[in-house]
Amino acid sequence: MDSKERNINLYLLALTPFALAVIGWALMGMTPEKIDAGVVTLAALTAFCSCYLRIQLPRVNIHLTITDGLIIFAMLQYGGEIAVLLAVVEITAASLNMLRGTMPIKVKTIVINVWMQALTVFAAHYAVSTIFGPIDRILQRQEISSFIWLLAAMAMALFLVNSVLVAIYTSLKKEMSFWAVWSNNLASAIVLYLTGGVVGGIMIKALEKGRFLSACCGHRLFWHCLSYIPAIR
């Protein structure tokens, strides 16, 4: 085993106990009352979008989709436990879809992706809950400024944690500098995560007011913003 594979294995080993603890926390927090038609529909939509509406960031094996907005919506509407499990479903579906396709991907890489996604969503939920308190109370206040700050914090927490975890893995895999990997994709990742926050926020407001067509506008805004990201291959 060369040094690169050894370092990747050590990274996987380091992530595993924390990721299993997070997934266990999410499963223990689930009750039959929390699983309704909306959750099932959201899970199916997330899995579909992760497989067929994927954007690859340049020069690295990172795929971002409108599922970022759906996960933020789930965190706002259903709580951190469902958001974590939804993130696991999303990245697993995307990875298995790549495994079935022409893009080679190792089982080890799938596991690392799942662990990183679970840790990312949990960290974002924990950070936002620590800073702002219970999310449902903020939504009940109907204060637009607090809502915007909540969305911005949630999107930036997702960005910071995920970009760091992915950059560490990519730097080990490609034997590159962490800072080189992280900085190369900084602008694109920030735009995508902030736009995911916009999508999630529009969906919440559309749900609150019953104007479901507004959610479609949110998805159109997402793709409009993507047009400003140069040369995504």
Helix 186-209 to helix 213-226 angle (10° resolution) is 170
Q: Confirm whether 48 is domain-assigned.
A: yes
Q: Confirm whether 82 is domain-assigned.
A: yes
First to last CA, the chain: 32
Instruction: Give the per-residue pLDDT at 228.
Output: 46
Is residue 197 over pLDDT 60? yes
Q: What are the φ/ψ torsions at residue 56 (nearest 5 degrees)?
A: -95, 125
The pLDDT of 210-216, averaged and rounded, is: 49
Instruction: Give the per-residue pLDDT at 125.
Output: 92
Instruction: Give the per-residue pLDDT at 65.
Output: 65
Q: Confirm whether 231 is domain-assigned.
A: no
Residue 188: both structure tokens together: 């694109």
Shortest CA distance to 191 belongs to which of 149, 226, 161? 226
Is residue 123 over pLDDT 80? yes
SS3 readout for 178-207? HHHHHHHCHHHHHHHHHHHHHHHHHHHHHH
Q: What is the identity of the amino acid at 99? A: L
Please tell me the pTM assigned to this model: 0.79
Report the alpha-carbon distance of residue 227 to residue 233 in Å, rounded: 13
Instruction: Give the per-residue pLDDT at 121.
Output: 94
Residue 76 CB coordination number (10 Å): 23
Instruction: Give the per-residue pLDDT at 229.
Output: 45
Count of helices and strands (H, E) across the chain: 10, 2
The pLDDT of 193-214, averaged and rounded, is: 71
% of the chain residues with pLDDT over 70: 81
Mean pLDDT of the chain: 79
Q: What CATH code is carried by the domain that includes residue 118?
A: 1.10.1760.20
Full residue range of the structural domain in which residue 126 is found = 3-226
Q: Confirm whether 33 is domain-assigned.
A: yes
Instruction: Give the per-residue pLDDT at 20.
Output: 96
Q: Confirm whether 207 is domain-assigned.
A: yes
Residue 21 — very low, low, confident or very high, per pLDDT cuts 50/70/90?
very high
Residue 209 CB coordination number (10 Å): 9
Report the alpha-carbon distance of residue 134 to residue 117 in Å, rounded: 22
Collapsed DSSP state (helix, strand, coil) of residue 74: helix
Shortest CA distance to 58 belongs to which of 191, 221, 206? 191
Q: Confirm whether 63 is domain-assigned.
A: yes
Report the alpha-carbon distance of residue 16 to residue 102 in Å, rounded: 28
Shortest CA distance to 125 belongs to which of 98, 153, 97? 153
Q: Confirm whether 232 is domain-assigned.
A: no
The pLDDT of 30-50, averaged and rounded, is: 80
Q: What is the pLDDT of residues 155-188, one digit of tens each?
A: 889 989 988 998 899 898 888 888 888 888 777 7
Provide the number of structural domains found in the chain: 1
Q: What is the pLDDT of residues 53-100, one digit of tens each?
A: 666 655 544 555 678 888 888 898 888 899 999 999 888 888 887 777
